Structure 1
Amino acid sequence: MSVSRKGMLYVLFAAVLWGSSGVCAQYIMEQSHISSESLTMLRLLFSGLILLMLSFMHGDKIFAVFKHRQDVISLLVFTLFGALTVQLTFLLTIEKSNAATATILQFLSPTIIVAWFALMKKKRSGKLVFAAIGTSLMGTFLLVTHGDPTSISISSGALFWGIASAFAAAFYTTFPSVLIARYGTLPIVGWSMLLGGVMLAPFYANQVGSFTASGGTIFAFFYLVVVGTAITFSLYLTGAQMIGGPKASILSCAEPLSSALLSLLLLGITFTLPDWLGTLLILSSVVLISLDSRGKLHAS
């Protein structure tokens, strides 16, 4: 098997696993009655520990970031507004709606990123970017209203947290580039998750003992933390390095599709025609942005 094909399989498999982790989180919250805040805390704590262990085993100097005051401040900013916020808003959206809707709304983040950079640089964007913004807005409109502007098909809470999740994901994607370049991806993401869990602990640690645990929910939590975070993250990074960011972004569109299909099969969530059309429009915006990025890479 060629390196390119192997990389594509890694990214595709990672996207499917990420989609399933949202469904897994919804199952845990429904079955155990744990709050989204408490589940976020536990997921961040355990996932952060696992990623740091993997980083240490990989030979990374995981404590190097704490030797420089400015980098510590940047890490704390990334932790609070990136890792903690993106996980919390995502699970809150699931709690208010379902895993599929939360995943799809979070996929607005690439459009937010390109729109933000276009505004900051005061540079006219290409046709593909304009098309991406248009399709993402139309997709969101269909997902939220089912085509009827006088009605909203999801709760206002789900819409608010879903949009907040997209903005948080945009920040999470763009802010830590300098830190990652200096210290590596696994140490920075690992510390941001662990510290994010520590930040939530004083507020929600006392709630953990009150949720209903069973064999199914314990297995689901293991899957969410180990498979849906550590293994998936490693697969995606490896695959993205093999095939490049634009291709990886296109293949990652399998994430919301897998989430929607698994929600339909496992949780009984129903998707109407406007839901599917909205989903495809939002995913097409990611493809258009990736194609625009790829074109710029070839032109340079």
Structure 2
Amino acid sequence: MGSSRKGMMNVLIAAILWGSSGVCAQYIMEQSQMSSGFLTMTRLLFAGTILLTLSFVHGDKIFAIFRHRKDALNLLIFTLAGALTVQLTFLLTIEKSNAATATVLQFLSPTIIVAWFALAKRVRPGLLVIIAILTSLIGTFLLVTHGDPTSLSVSAAALFWGIASAFAAAFYTTFPSTLIARYGTLPIVGWSMLLGGIVLLPFYAAQGSQVAITGNLVLAFFYFVVIGTALTFSLYLKGAQLIGGSKASILSCTEPLSSALLSLLLLGVTFTLLDWLGTLLILSSVILISLDSRRRVKPGL
């Protein structure tokens, strides 16, 4: 199998697994009455430990960042405003609505990123980006109102946390680039997750005694943390490395589609025609932004 095809397969599998992990989170919360905060805490603690272990085995100097005060401070900022916030707001959106809606709303983050950079640098966005922003706004409108501006098809809380999740994902994607360039992806993401979980411990650790543990829940949690976080993250990184970020972004659009289909098949969540249309419009905005970024990096453009 060629490296390009292998990279595409890695990203596709990662996107599908990511989509399924949101469905798994919904199942865990529904079956155990576990709060989104407690599930976020445990996911961050376990996933952070796994990623740091993989990083250490890989030969990374995982403690190097703590020798530099400024970088350690930036890691703390990334932990609080990035890893912790993006995970917590995503699971809160699932708790208030469902996995499919939460995943689609989080996919507004590429539009937020390009709009922010256009404003911050006072650069007029290209035609593809303008169309992408419009399609994402129309898609969100259809998804949350079903075309009727006087009513919401999702709760106000779900909409708030879903939009917050998109902003957190935008920050999570853009902020740590300098840290990752210096120390590597696995150490930075691993530490941000582990530290984020530790920050949540005083608030949610006591809820552990209230969770009824069953065999099915243990298996679901294992899948959620190990398969849906650590393995998926590794697959996506390897795939993006082989085919480039733009292609990876386009292929990752299978994540919300897999989440919607699995929610329909496994959890009985129903998507109306307007829900599907809104979803496809938001996903098309991601594709347009990816195409625009590929066009800009070509020689002579």
Whether TM-score is above 0.5 comes out as yes
State the TM-score, normalized to the length of structure 2. 0.99
> Per-residue CA shift, 1:266-291, capped at 9, x if unaligned?
00000000000000000000000000
1: CA distance, partners of 2:119 / 2:202: 39
What is the correspondence of 1:2-81 to structure 2 with a 5 Å cutoff? 2-81=2-81
The question of whether the paired residues in 2 share the 8 Å contact of 1:15 and 1:255 is answered with yes
2: CA distance, partners of 1:262 / 1:148: 27
> Per-residue CA shift, 1:127-146, capped at 9, x if unaligned?
00000000000000000000
What is the correspondence of 1:1-300 to structure 2 with a 5 Å cutoff? 1-299=1-299
2: CA distance, partners of 1:147 / 1:9: 36
% of aligned pairs identical?
A: 77
> Per-residue CA shift, 1:199-258, capped at 9, x if unaligned?
000111010121121111110000000000000000000000000000000000000000
Letter in 1 for 2:260: A
1: CA distance, partners of 2:212 / 2:141: 37
2: CA distance, partners of 1:149 / 1:256: 24
Alpha-carbon deviation of 1:297? 1.1
> Per-residue CA shift, 1:93-126, capped at 9, x if unaligned?
0000000000000000000000000000101110
Q: Which 4+ residue blocks in structure 1 deviate beyond 2 angstroms?
A: none
What's the Cα RMSD here? 0.5
- Larger deviation, residues 205-214 vs 246-255: 205-214
> Per-residue CA shift, 1:22-73, capped at 9, x if unaligned?
0000000000111000000000000000000000011000000000000010
2: CA distance, partners of 1:15 / 1:203: 31
Alpha-carbon deviation of 1:169? 0.1
Letter in 2 for 1:226: V
SS in 2 for 1:122: coil
